[in-house]
């Protein structure tokens, strides 16, 4: 008997389900409904049309209904929307936007992959012609055409998530004056505030006007007005505040909706109706580290869910590991990637954790394109179980995060991570990789071999006149240092022990933490009981303080920043 499978949505999740069903069942009748004109386009690549990195927007469309038909015998009906599920009759009601007609189609199995839609806040001016969102190829073509043919100069992008930052970047690369407005105190929520500073600096350095801690209040013809009353010139506005799962169809059909307001599914991606599956951005998934439902609107998980749903439809046992949340982004000259929990999320979830922040070179220092790699590793206290990581730099940061993602999935600990035998050659890495290095530091902390304070605590130390040693050489110190730090280079401290007090805490930093670590260990063995390494060291302090100083206009605690 021929099985009839209907699929709602023809992009990441939907197209993957269709292709997988075909491979499992050559005789199935497969119909995929897409309300827009395109199936199987690369949503993640949309912003790159704005800069011309993808010049031809047609390239964004990876396949056509004709190809689906010819290669896979899959019927892709575009410009047709499933507007109702008739669960008892096992049919859907379809609206054809080209003929304006409505009809019914029956199913044996139905798969919902409707995605998520950009949030449009209910604000004055939000429906003006120069206000855009970015969800599909039509959207990006419209935006691109509008700003090109109307000679737009100033564009406001509202929302500092992945789409907002990528749209801002690509518009800036195309030469527009871009203001990026974000309600929170940082862009890109997967990163902790200390790491996000690096991205803020890059956005600013590349000419994006960055407005944090401020939200959109109103849109008028030539400008937007923020909550704080700031007027920002903008003849075009892109809303990238976030997305919300498309649940209307499911709700209307009485399917269960989860606590995160996305479609609820079981471990096999079945909804509360055993003939209806749901996958992709519209569903809620299980976070294996937080042990609770979450939403994770990303392409990778959508594809995995699609395959799993199709497999289950054909009686194959599937494994649902939940999600950990891995992602990456390219921001001008930087790459940034993260996986698992950040410190913020771990804190909110009440998980006991600690973290390491290091910044070694990403490849052998004497190689021409060796760069500083900022790396933060979060682990559970006291078990040392790896919980998450974030990496930012010009080089291969995603490599390190993928390794940590693998470790998290396999329940690895700091001990496992330190021992990892990774590939190395001078053009591609360092003999002791960043992840090995971070694990070693983490173990030192976990085992109590030395103590440290975080980069975010340094201002208080300076303001309370703590005893801070700068372990760099004099010429480095003179180029910029903490206002009340004392310069005792690692190469001199053994002869200058009488300058270091034993009766009060001593805080030590250098450029990146390596020299100060050695001095901390030595002083600890010499009987100094309260010696602390300053995590992140002068590079981290500079980055952290730079942006905070910039937005708050507060007094600098350094004589000069040093970012190199």
* Least CB distance to a copy of itself at residue 22 (A): 7
* 100 or 421: CB nearest a copy of itself: 421
Other C-beta atoms within 10 Å of 145: how many?
11
Backbone angles phi, psi at 348, to 5 degrees: -60, -35
Bridge partners, residue 78, by sequence:
34
Per DSSP, the three-state class of 227 is coil
* 45 or 79: CB nearest a copy of itself: 45
Q: Which residues of 216-254 are buried (b: 16+ CB within 10 A; e: fewer)?
A: bbebeeebbbbeeeeebebbbbbbbbebbbbbebbeebe
Site for a copy of itself in 275-304 (CB under 8 A): 298-304
Q: Are 234 and 65 in contact (CB under 8 A)?
A: no
Out of 60, 85, 187, 510, the active site residue is 510
* Least CB distance to a copy of itself at residue 325 (A): 7
Chain centroid to CA 4: how far?
Answer: 38
* Parallel/antiparallel/unpaired status of strands 231-233 and 223-226: antiparallel
Q: Is the dihedral of CA 203, 209, 215, 221 positive or negative?
A: negative
In degrees, rounded to 5, the angle at the alpha carbon of residue 499 between the alpha carbons of residues 493 and 503 is 115
Burial of 419 (0-12, 13-18, 19+ CB in 10 A): exposed
Site string for a copy of itself, 480-519 (x = CB under 8 A): ----------xxx-x--------------------x-xx-
Q: Are 371 and 393 in contact (CB under 8 A)?
A: yes
Q: Are 279 and 112 in contact (CB under 8 A)?
A: yes
Q: In what order do the strands lie in the sheet with 109-112?
A: 75-78, 29-34, 4-8, 109-112, 276-278
Using CB under 8 A, which of the segments 88-96, 104-112, 271-279, 420-428 binds a copy of itself?
Answer: 420-428
Site for a copy of itself in 517-546 (CB under 8 A): 517-518, 521-522, 525-526
* 292 or 494: CB nearest a copy of itself: 494
Those residues with Cβ within 8 angstroms of residue 332's Cβ, 6 or more apart along the chain or in another chain: 169, 172, 173, 202, 203, 205, 206
Site for a copy of itself in 349-378 (CB under 8 A): 364-368
- CA 332/CA 336 separation, integer angstroms: 11
Site for a copy of itself in 72-91 (CB under 8 A): 72-73
Using CB under 8 A, which of the segments 249-257, 271-279, 350-358, 401-409 binds a copy of itself?
Answer: 401-409
Rounding to the nearest 10 degrees, give the CA dihedral for residues 135, 136, 138, 140.
60
* Least CB distance to a copy of itself at residue 342 (A): 14
Site for a copy of itself in 423-442 (CB under 8 A): 423-429, 431-433, 436, 440
* Least CB distance to a copy of itself at residue 410 (A): 4
Q: Does 174 bind a copy of itself (CB under 8 A)?
A: no
Q: Are 337 and 191 in contact (CB under 8 A)?
A: no
* Least CB distance to a copy of itself at residue 158 (A): 21
Looking at residue 455, the DSSP 8-state letter turns out to be G
* 247 or 390: CB nearest a copy of itself: 390
Q: Are 360 and 439 in contact (CB under 8 A)?
A: no
Site for a copy of itself in 47-66 (CB under 8 A): 48, 53-54, 59-60, 62
Q: Is 510 known to be catalytic?
A: yes
* Least CB distance to a copy of itself at residue 367 (A): 7
Using CB under 8 A, which of the segments 121-129, 149-157, 417-425, 452-460 binds a copy of itself?
Answer: 417-425
Per DSSP, the three-state class of 154 is strand
Using CB under 8 A, which of the segments 213-221, 394-402, 500-508, 530-538 binds a copy of itself?
Answer: 394-402
Using CB under 8 A, which of the segments 81-89, 237-245, 395-403, 458-466 binds a copy of itself?
Answer: 395-403
Among 330, 394, 530, 556, binds a copy of itself (CB under 8 A): 330
Among 164, 325, 388, 540, binds a copy of itself (CB under 8 A): 325
* 475 or 525: CB nearest a copy of itself: 525
* 71 or 352: CB nearest a copy of itself: 71
Among 42, 93, 206, 559, binds a copy of itself (CB under 8 A): 42
* 42 or 244: CB nearest a copy of itself: 42
* Least CB distance to a copy of itself at residue 388 (A): 12
Report, as residue numbers or ranges, the catalytic residues: 510
């Amino acid at each position: 008997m021929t099985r009839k499978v209907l699929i709602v949505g023809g992009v990441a999740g939907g197209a993957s389900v269709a292709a997988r069903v075909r491979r499992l069942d050559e005789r199935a009748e497969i119909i995929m409904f897409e309300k827009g004109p395109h199936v199987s386009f690369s949503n993640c690549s949309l912003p790159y049309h704005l800069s011309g990195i993808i010049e031809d927007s047609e390239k964004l469309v990876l396949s056509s209904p004709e190809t689906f038909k010819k290669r896979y015998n899959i019927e892709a009906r575009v410009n047709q929307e499933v507007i109702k599920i008739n669960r008892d009759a096992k049919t859907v009601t379809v609206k054809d936007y080209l003929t304006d007609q409505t009809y019914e189609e029956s199913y044996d199995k139905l798969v919902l992959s409707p995605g998520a839609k950009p949030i449009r806040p209910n604000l004055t001016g939000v429906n003006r012609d120069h206000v855009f969102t970015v969800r599909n190829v039509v959207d990006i073509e419209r935006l691109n055409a509008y700003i090109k043919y109307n000679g737009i100069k100033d564009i406001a992008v509202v929302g500092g998530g992945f789409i907002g930052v990528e749209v801002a970047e690509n518009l800036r690369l195309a030469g527009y004056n871009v203001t990026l407005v974000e309600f929170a105190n940082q862009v890109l929520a997967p990163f902790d505030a200390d790491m996000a500073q690096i991205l803020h600096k890059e956005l600013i350095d590349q000419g994006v006007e960055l407005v944090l801690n401020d939200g959109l209040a109103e849109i008028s013809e030539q400008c937007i007005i923020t909550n704080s009353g700031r007027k920002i010139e903008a003849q075009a506005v892109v809303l990238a505040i976030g997305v919300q799962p498309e649940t209307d169809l499911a709700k209307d059909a009485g399917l269960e909706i989860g606590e995160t307001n996305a479609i609820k599914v079981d471990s096999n991606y079945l909804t509360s109706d055993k003939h209806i599956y749901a996958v992709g951005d519209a569903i809620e998934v299980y976070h294996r580290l937080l042990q609770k439902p979450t939403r994770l609107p990303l392409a990778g998980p959508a594809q995995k869910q699609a395959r799993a749903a199709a497999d289950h439809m054909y009686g194959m046992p599937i494994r649902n590991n939940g999600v950990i949340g891995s992602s990456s982004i390219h921001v001008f000259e930087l790459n940034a990637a993260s996986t698992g929990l950040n410190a913020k999320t771990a804190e909110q979830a009440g998980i006991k954790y600690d973290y390491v922040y290091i910044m070694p070179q990403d490849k052998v220092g004497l190689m021409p394109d060796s760069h500083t790699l900022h790396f933060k590793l979060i682990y559970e206290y006291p078990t040392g179980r790896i919980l998450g990581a974030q990496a930012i730099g010009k080089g291969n940061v995603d490599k390190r995060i993928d390794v940590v993602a693998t470790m998290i999935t396999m329940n690895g600990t700091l001990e496992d991570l330190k021992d990892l035998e990774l590939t190395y050659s001078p053009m591609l890495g360092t003999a002791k990789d960043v992840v090995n290095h971070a694990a070693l530091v983490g173990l030192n902390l976990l085992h109590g071999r030395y103590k440290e304070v975080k980069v975010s605590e340094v201002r208080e130390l300076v303001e309370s006149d703590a005893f801070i040693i700068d372990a760099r050489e004099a010429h480095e110190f003179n180029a910029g240092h903490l206002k009340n730090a004392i310069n005792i280079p690692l190469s001199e401290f053994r002869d200058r022990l009488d300058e270091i007090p034993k009766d009060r805490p001593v805080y030590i930093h250098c450029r990146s933490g390596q020299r100060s670590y050695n001095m901390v260990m030595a002083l600890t063995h010499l009987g100094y009981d309260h010696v602390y390494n300053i995590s992140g060291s002068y590079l981290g302090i500079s980055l952290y303080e730079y942006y905070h100083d910039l937005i708050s206009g507060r007094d600098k605690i350094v004589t000069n920043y040093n970012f190199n």
